[in-house]
Structure 1
Amino acid sequence: MGKKQQNDKKRHHFVPKAYLKAFCNESGRVWVYRKDNPQQPRPESPDSTQFRNYYYSQPKPDGGQDNNALEDFFSTIESGWPKTVAKLRANRDMNDQLSNLFEFMSLQRARVPAARDLTEGIDAHFVKSQLTSMHARGELPTPPLGFEDLPNMAEVAIDPHRSIHAMVDMFQGMGALYDVIGLSVVHNKTSRPFLTSDNPVIWFDPSITFEQQLPYTVNLPQGPVALIFPISPHLAIVGDTALAQSYAKQGLLQAEIDDEELIKAINEQICRFAYESILASALGQEDLILKHAECSPVLETKEIRGWNGSITVHQQVFGKRHTKPKW
C-alpha cells in the first residue's frame, strides 16, 4: 500500500451517510442487523457503519495509492440526495429533476460489496478453471505427493481494483432496466416502516413464485421486472414493467399504501437481498430478518459439458455468503 497523505479519506462508505440519515431514529442511530449475528442488532451512527477502509482506493502510476478520487466523485452524486428525498417526501413534481434519482440508484447498485464480490467471484472462477485446464494438459509441474488435486484445492484471490473497473459497466448497464420499467414513489402509510440494507437496489421477476425467484435474474427487454429501492422508513421507489405506459405519459407516479401485508412483502424482499447487513429505523421486524439471515444474493457457477467442450454459466442465487480469500 502506498504512502498515505494527511488528508486521505480512510472510511469509504459503500452505503452513503446521506442515505443512512433518512433511516435514523430520534437518537441519530440506525439499527444494524448483521446476517452473521442477527440476534444482536447494534444502534450505529451513519459515520460508524457500512464502510470499509480504503474500499475505493486505486493504484497510481508512480506506485502510490489514490484514496480520494472515487470518494470525491461519489460525493458529487450523494450531495444532492437529501434534497431529492425532501422533494419526494413532499410529493413534489420531480419529472424534470430525475437525473439524481437515476444516478444515485445506479451507483448504489454498482458500488456495494454484493456487486463487487460477484465480479471478483467470476474472475476467480475463470483463473481457477484455467489452472485446472493447464493441469489437465500437463502444462504445470507435477504437484507434491498428497496434493495431486492441488489446482482444485487452490484458493484464488482477485485484485479488488478489477471490481472497481467493473462498476462502470454495471452502472451503465442499468439503463437497459430503466428503459422497460415505470417508476412510482410509494408513500408507506402503515405502522410498519420500510427496512433497507447494504444492498438496497433490488429487482426480480414478479411473475414467478417467491421461492423460485432469483436475484437480478429477469428477461430483458420483455420483462416482467419489479424493482424496489427504499428511500426512508416511509418512502420507496417501486418500478415495474406494468407501469411503463403510465410512466411514459405521466412521468414519476405517486401512490399511497395502507396495506401492511404489502409492506411486509416488500420488506421480505429487502431482507433476502441484503448481503451482510439489514438496516432498520426501529426494532420490531425480527421475524423477517431472522427468516432470511442465512441467505444473500451470491454467485453460483455451473459447468455444462458437451461433446466439443464445456460452457460456464454464472448466475446469482439466494444462498450462504462465504468469506472471499483476502488479496
Structure 2
Amino acid sequence: MATIRQHFVPQAFLKGFAEDSGSPFIWVYDKRSGYRPSRKSVKSVAYEHYYYSQETEAGEQDIDSLEKAFAKTIDNDLPLIIQNIKAVPNRGVSLSDEHKGKIAYFIGLSLTRVPSFRDGINQIYSWAAQMALNEVAKDNDAVSDLIDKYGLTAEAKAWVSLRPMLEIANNISESVLSKNWQFFVAADNVSFMTSDNPVVIGGGAGMGPGHPMAELMLSLRKDLALVCTPRGKKSVEVFKQSPSETRNFNRGIVRAARHRVFSDHLSSTVDAFVKKYSHEQQQIVI
C-alpha cells in the first residue's frame, strides 16, 4: 500500500520532543494568529500528501519510492543514533565516523527537504519555464493568443525540486563534517524545542547553509542540541546551558520556524513567545 502522508520532519525524530519518553504525542504551537496550541501525534504533523511523489522516465507516477527509501535509511537510523548519544558536560561525546556522517547528512537533508527550501526551488523552475513560454510567444501568435485569452502560464511540477534537494543535502553534509561540533545539554527544567524548519542557519546575513562560515544549529532531542560552527576547538565539546541560554537557543528555533513549533509541554508563555515571531521564518539561500 502506498504511503500517502509523507513527512518532511521524521516521526521518529519528533518523538525525541514528546511529552513523555516513548510517547508519540507532542505539543504543537502555530506562529499564525488564531491557532491555539494542540496536543498531537507525531504522525499527524510535518507532512504533506504525496510530498516525495515523482514521475518516472516512462511518465508514470512513482508515489512513494523516495519516502520508503528515507524510512528504511536515514529516518530509521538517525533517531537511534541520537537516542544513544551520551553527552556529559566537559567530557565530550564519543561518535564513530559512520554516526557522525549520518548526523551530517540528516542536517543537510533537514535543510533541503522542508517546504521552505523545496517551494523556493519550484518557484525558480516555474519562473524559468514562464520566461521560456514568453520567449516562444514572441514568435508564435497562437501561443500569444492563448496567453492573452486564457491567461496561459507555465508552472514547474512539484517533483523538479527533488534532485536539487538530494544533491544540495550532500553538499551541505560535507560542509558540516568540516566544522567544529559542540553539544549543549539543556538547562534543568527547560526543554529544547524543534520546528518545521528544524535546522537554524547562523552567520552573516544571507549566508547559505553550505558557506564555510555558516553556523548550523539543531535541537537533537528535548535535552540535547548540536551546533556546527567554524569557530572553536577541533575536538567535540559538551556544555551545560543555563536557563537563559536554553531559552535563547529556543528563540532561534522559533524565529526560523515556517509555521509550527514542537515542544514537550503546554504553556501559554510559550504560545505568546511563538506568536511574537509570527512574521519571521528562515529563508534558505543557495
TM class by shorter-chain length? 0.7 to 0.9
Cα 1:297–1:139 shift into 2, 3 Å: farther
1:118 Cα deviation from its structure 2 partner? 1.3
1:58 Cα deviation from its structure 2 partner? 2.1
1:85 Cα deviation from its structure 2 partner? 1.6
Deviations 1:119-172 (A, max 9, x none): 11111222334445566x56556967xx97x99x87653201101111122112
1:11 alignment counterpart: 5
| In structure 1, distance between residues paired with 2:143 and 2:100 | 59
2:38 alignment counterpart: 42
1:308 alignment counterpart: none
1:175 Cα deviation from its structure 2 partner? 3.8
Indicate conservation of the 8 Å contact 1:204/1:217, yes or no.
no
Indicate conservation of the 8 Å contact 1:89/1:235, yes or no.
no
1:37 Cα deviation from its structure 2 partner? 4.1
Partner amino acid for 1:195? M
| Aligned pairs (5 A) from 1:201-240 | 201-205=199-203, 213-214=205-206, 216-217=207-208, 220-221=211-212, 223=213, 225-240=214-229
1:200 alignment counterpart: 198
| Aligned pairs (5 A) from 1:10-89 | 10-26=4-20, 28-37=24-33, 39-75=35-71, 76-89=73-86
| In structure 2, distance between residues paired with 1:275 and 1:140 | 42
| In structure 1, distance between residues paired with 2:70 and 2:252 | 27
2:252 alignment counterpart: 269
1:89 Cα deviation from its structure 2 partner? 4.2
Task: Supply the RMSD in Å over aligned alpha carbons.
Answer: 2.9
| In structure 2, distance between residues paired with 1:154 and 1:263 | 51
1:185 alignment counterpart: 183
2:241 alignment counterpart: 257
1:295 Cα deviation from its structure 2 partner? 2.4
Cα 1:89–1:257 shift into 2, 3 Å: same
Alignment size in residue pairs: 275
| In structure 2, distance between residues paired with 1:140 and 1:125 | 21
| In structure 1, distance between residues paired with 2:55 and 2:143 | 35
* Structure richer in strand, relative to its length: 1
TM-score (norm 1): 0.74
1:194 Cα deviation from its structure 2 partner? 1.3
| In structure 2, distance between residues paired with 1:19 and 1:218 | 21
Indicate conservation of the 8 Å contact 2:28/2:260, yes or no.
yes
2:230 alignment counterpart: 241
Q: Secondary structure at the match of 2:107?
A: helix
| In structure 2, distance between residues paired with 1:155 and 1:193 | 47
| In structure 1, distance between residues paired with 2:229 and 2:140 | 51
Q: Secondary structure at the match of 2:197?
A: coil
1:117 alignment counterpart: 119
Q: Secondary structure at the match of 1:193?
A: coil
Give the percent of matched residue pairs that are identical in Structure 1 and Structure 2.
Answer: 23
| In structure 2, distance between residues paired with 1:142 and 1:129 | 13
Indicate conservation of the 8 Å contact 1:87/1:94, yes or no.
no
Query: Which one is further off, 109-118 or 37-46?
Result: 37-46
Cα 1:142–1:118 shift into 2, 3 Å: closer
Give structure 1 stretches of 5+ with no counterpart.
1-6, 300-314, 317-327
Q: Secondary structure at the match of 1:30?
A: strand
The structure showing larger relative contact order (alpha-carbon pairs under 8 Å, at least 6 residues apart) is 2
Partner amino acid for 1:56? Y
Partner amino acid for 2:46? Q
Indicate conservation of the 8 Å contact 1:112/1:198, yes or no.
yes
* Structure richer in helix, relative to its length: 2
